A and B are shown apart, each in its own frame.
Chain A
């Protein structure tokens, strides 16, 4: 700024020239490019040193106040009344004169070019140090520690327990939750075990609070989890969207139950659509793991913690009410984990001070860039993390596709069908998102499969995922897709599957005869 105050160039921009008679050691200085002219300082000054501005600042379009320090007593009340960080400060009159801000301000001829004296230097900031809120490039991850686990007898526990114990083994010492049937036993076990490990069990005021506590703890870089069931999971979706946007890890175990609405507490695969396609607002995806046995509840929970930190993205474990309640044999792994602290964490210590957990990208270009970055991450997940299992598929004509408990039932059906000399097999997606299309594609290319039968406890949610995956993979010619569906809390039975497949087999044979 040229000397627009007309008081000579030896003083701070906007500060009245006349040095007070008392030659105060300390007096206010005013950087008028950062003054919005709110006049709070005018109200604060008992000596009427400050007056409303009379001139619009050409850089800011605002009208900064005017100072005349003739009567200033150095009380600093104007400074404590100023809402701006860098508009008004107290300084040593000699050094401030030396800094000659009026001259410096004239460098603000082109603010957009960044040709600006950093005002912080007048406020005691070390302007050389990079304290602008950028992650310190030198900071490294404090790595996880893998600790061997002594051999132990297999546990006989229910699915939710297995998942909780899996979390403990994966280094999770922060559990947040809200009671909801049929997932509550997992939370109850955590309530029992966490205190014994000086870990945190906290029953939140709601599922909404639960997911936000996870946002906090996950944002601090610590592994955390919750157990919930369909209606509760619905409530968590907003927070999951924020976690995905801000790249916060966390593991959600959704023990799916009958819906919509309150539905009932019996098992349904009611949220496949939600976990694969509906994780809150915006461009969201998360890895979805679908265990089928209590053992897998443990194994996949451990895997979920690994993946959630690998990708800095929430991971969902979609179980069903049956699986959550089902007791079975669970063998513990050979090792456990003590988690480190990732470099990006807002942990609340010196090392991580520059970090930020945030899903705001205010400018359109930034947000587009962020979404493209997320797309790339999702693609990496699709390329690298597809998981599936097969059962008697090598010579199968009829391919059952099912996950969770219906997959176990389908296994029983495959066995029963094989006894009837029908060559059935089972393809079991373990990741629902990404759908394990690569393995399925290979299976279908074998050429023996004539019919696909999707077995699910929902009205076609898994089949939709299958069809979308086939389409996206460009597999336009595939065996026809039939289904066995139950819902409302009823799972498809072995008998239903066998019956359906038998009638399909008859159709296939008839069409072959007719050919």
Chain B
């Protein structure tokens, strides 16, 4: 308790005892029961509760490290839920078990803050297991003070994940056993993870252990000041009320019963090894430059593509054209559809593209609905298209019957040889072009979708060829060496149709 050396920067003038404050507790606890009467100056904890001590050491630490202004404390759900009533720091009260996630949210918002999550065993080791394990593994700098008292306090003495084997609680009235497994050893578990730089289990049952507990909490917070990494301190805390013991007996119980299961000591400490080097301070100053943002969102493409179309292709539809591209994953149906949409927008029309896939990640069906409208796309689906481009037989046979009269069906004749079974209205133009074969001849099977686009252009005159080529070039801006090949593929598709229509 030597405090004369602590010249606090946050407390103003000294109190009448002539000393600076030694802790970061509020002078009055207004947030609990409005701080009425004596309650305004004492905690809500039962006599002998370990939470009071752990929090006192935290409050002393915050004062000693002079970080009141920069500390954010996360209150959990459980007996320690009212931590925010006591600690004179920034306070945030988390849902049950979620304190580490809330802590990360605060840390990312202000990486210069020291963030501490204070949690009990029900909160941390039961409902919040995923949050604590994940937070520990990623190792973002936060401190976690974990009070393990082997029981649920606030809800009235139920079995906790840390309840000892054989221990009787209101939900293990015959003693923990059978189907409830063994007590959860959180410090050991957390220490096995890669993220934490410091993990220690401490206790409060005698002066020596209390001194260690204070040191551990201080170290965990010191690591936050240095922004070094994730620190975890498990405190074996007494819950005399629900152990149904006098406080001194509860202390003895911890020493005799809990210690064999929850051995004290440092479980991991790599805080001095240069590990856990802070990676998040850059988030303190995110970029808000408009030029930077623009270049990030448009990939540096900020040139208007010239327009080539003289009028909307009303020979296909008056004001709203529907196209469908259908094939298997990898056919390039989506890319082709995307180029049609980009080209339409370059020409000043409205256009939409909706992909739909089978559930497979690879090789499943891949369909695209495209709309091109003179003013606004109203119905974005293309269930009855004007133009169908089919990359395989199933797609052709599935969608060709839905094509509108006067429409176009363009398919890959290198994979569909017999179209005799297709019963289409005679007004529909059915055009087979060997996309895949031609692409292979050009040296790259992947450009078969561009061959298809060339075929589409020649067959339908949707836009002038230049419109397609401009969209292609824009699309390939980052891969200029591919432009020539793609242009060749496009013209090959055009030529194939010209020949077939001749």
Structural contact, A202 and B38, CB atoms closer than 8 A: no
What string of 1s and 0s marks CB contacts (under 8 Å) between A34-69 and chain B?
A: 101111101110000000000000011010000000
Task: Given A116-B40, A213-B104, A353-B69, answer yes or no on A362-B379 (Cβ-Cβ < 8 Å).
Answer: no
Other CB < 8 Å A-B pairs besides A83-B49, A246-B93, A363-B33, 16 of them?
A38-B47, A119-B41, A120-B41, A124-B17, A127-B27, A128-B12, A149-B290, A197-B293, A202-B104, A212-B98, A327-B352, A328-B377, A329-B345, A346-B72, A348-B109, A411-B379
Asked, given contacts A131-B26, A322-B354, whether A118 binds B41 with beta carbons under 8 Å apart, the answer is yes
Q: Is A301 an interface residue (CB 8 A)?
A: no
Say whether A328 contacts B352, CB under 8 Å.
Answer: yes
Cross-chain contact A219 with B41 (CB below 8 angstroms): no
Stretch with Cβ within 8 A of A (4 or more), from B176-184, B195-203, B299-307, B411-419? B299-307
Whether B301 pairs with A153 at a CB distance below 8 angstroms is: yes
B439 interface contact, C-beta 8 A: no
- Which of B46, B101, B247 contacts A213, CB < 8 Å? B101
Residues of A within 8 A of B101 (CB): 204-205, 208-210, 212-213, 215-216
- Collect the chain A residues with CB atoms within 8 Å of residue B350's CB: 328-329
CA distance A197 to B286 in the complex (A): 6
Task: Return the CB mask of A81-105 against B: 1 if under 8 Å, else 0.
Answer: 1111111011110011011000000
| Complex contacts, B75 vs chain A, CB 8 Å | 358
Q: How far is the CB of B195 from chain A (nearest CB, A)?
A: 13
Question: Could you show 6 A-B contacts with beta carbons less than 8 Å apart?
Answer: A118-B27, A153-B301, A193-B296, A212-B95, A215-B95, A362-B32
**Contact across chains for A85 and B25 when beta carbons are under 8 A apart:** yes
Interface size range on A against B: 35 or more
Chain A positions 257-316 with a Cβ under 8 Å from a chain B Cβ = 265, 293-294
Flag if A122 contacts B17 (CB, 8 Å). yes
In the complex, are the beta carbons of A92 and B18 less than 8 A apart? yes
User: Would you call A217 and B89 a contact (CB within 8 A)?
Assistant: no
Once A60-B38, A85-B25, A328-B341 are accepted as A-B contacts, the answer to whether A346 and B49 lie under 8 Å apart by CB is: no
A92-B17, A126-B11, A198-B282 are known contacts. Are A116 and B38 too (CB-CB below 8 A)? yes
* In the complex, chain A residues whose CB is within 8 Å of the CB of B495: none
Contacts of B210 in A (CB 8 A): 44, 80-81
Contact yes or no, A200 B283, CB < 8 A: yes
Contact with A along B361-403 (1 / 0, CB 8 A): 0000000000000001111110110000000000000000000
Q: How far is the CA of A199 from the CA of B292 in the complex (A)?
A: 13
Per DSSP, chain A at the interface is: mixed
A364 nearest CB across to chain B (Å): 12
| Residue count of chain B within 8 Å CB distance of chain A | 132
Q: Quote the shortest CB–CB distance from B243 to chain A (angstroms).
A: 13
Given A91-B17, A328-B352, A348-B71, A125 and B11 contact (CB-CB distance below 8 Å): yes
- Bound-state CA distance A150–B282 (Å) is 26
Question: Does A421 reach chain B (CB closer than 8 Å)?
Answer: no
CB neighbours of A111 from chain B (8 A): 37-38
Pick the residue among A83, A120, A322, A412 that contacts B53 (CB under 8 A).
Answer: A83
CB-based contact A95/B17 at 8 Å = yes
Question: How far is B296's CA from A327's CA once the two chains are assembled, in angstroms?
Answer: 19
Q: Are B90 and A346 in contact (CB under 8 A)?
A: yes
Please give, as numbers and ranges, the residues of chain A lying within 8 Å of B11 by CB-CB distance.
Answer: 124-126, 129, 131
Shortest CB-to-CB span from B187 to chain A, Å, is 20
How many angstroms between the C-alpha atoms of A270 and B109 in the bound complex? 33
Q: Say if the beta carbon of A367 comes within 8 Å of chain B.
A: no
Q: Does B50 contact A (CB under 8 A)?
A: yes
B23: interface (CB < 8 Å): yes
Task: Find B292's partner among A197, A220, A338 (CB 8 Å cutoff).
Answer: A197
The 8 Å CB contact of B108, one of A85, A215, A217, A336, is: A217
* A233 CB–B CB distance under 8 Å: no
| Contacts known (A86-B41, A150-B291); A408 close to B251, Cβ less than 8 A | no
Decide if B92 is an interface residue (CB 8 Å cutoff): yes
